[in-house]
Amino acid sequence: MADVKKTTPSVPEDPNALRWGFTPQSENWNGRFAMIGFLSAVALEVFSGQGILHFWGIL
């Protein structure tokens, strides 16, 4: 065990860092943006009385 090298990652693992690709950080941000979008759609429906598609005039 004396000759085992300790390595450090070249990029620090910051869970809030913005990184491109399929990384845990990008999946965290994707989930956050999805929650914001879902809550925005629910709030729009509650306050306007119409669904998203009716609100935009699509249906």
For residue range 18-39, list pLDDT tens digits in order: 767 788 888 888 999 999 999 9
SS3 50: coil
Between 1-5, 18-22, 38-42, 46-50, the lowest mean confidence (pLDDT) is in: 1-5
Structure confidence at residue 41 (pLDDT): 92
Question: In a 10 Å sphere around its CB, with 0-12 CB exposed, 13-18 middle and 19+ buried, how is residue 10 labelled?
Answer: exposed
Does the pTM surpass 0.85? The reply is no
Scanning 2-58, the segments in alpha helix (DSSP H) are 24-48, 52-55
